Amino acid sequence: MTDTLETGRKLVEQLNPGMEEALQQRYGHLVPGMAQSIVDYAYGQQYARPGLPLRDRYIATIAALTALGGQTAPQLAVNIAGGRKAGLSREEIAEVIWQMSLYGGFPAAINALNTALTVFEQEEASDAP
């Protein structure tokens, strides 16, 4: 196991628990090693890099996924949830999304805001007694 894979696994379990296993179960039979590759590269080699705080990396990711449009909703939801765990407020996430209306268009921003609302509702539901 590489150092970056181990680093990525620790970060994934902090931000998106169970993600590697979910990817493995869903896609492992089609693309063996895909889950480990994503954890290694995206989390172990990119998100864990020095030079930019994790919360800022999530700002960039949320912005990019928003500008790409509605087809990224599942990945956007995962990254909004991760951004919340990395310290982003709901207001910061909403402002990042709205800023992207200039670059991805209003439909992309509105779709992303709807995704954010769903994530926020899930947060509230999991906090309820």
How is the chain split into domains, by residue range? Answer: 1-49, 53-129
Q: Tell if the pTM clears 0.85, that is, is over it.
A: yes
pLDDT, tens digit (0-9, with 9 covering 90-100), for 4-23: 999 999 999 999 899 999 99
* C-beta separation of 36 from 5 below 8 A: yes
**Where residue 71 falls among pLDDT bands split at 50, 70, 90?**
very high
pLDDT at 1 over 70: no
| Span 115-125, average pLDDT | 96
| Span 17-42, average pLDDT | 96
**Where residue 70 falls among pLDDT bands split at 50, 70, 90?**
confident
Paired tokens of 43: 């989390």
Superfamily of domain covering 53-129: AhpD-like (1.20.1290.10)
End-to-end CA distance of the chain: 40
pLDDT at 90 over 70: yes
Percent of the chain with pLDDT over 90: 94
CA separation, residue 76 to residues 3, 68, 117 (Å): 27, 10, 12
Distance CA 65, CA 78 (A): 11
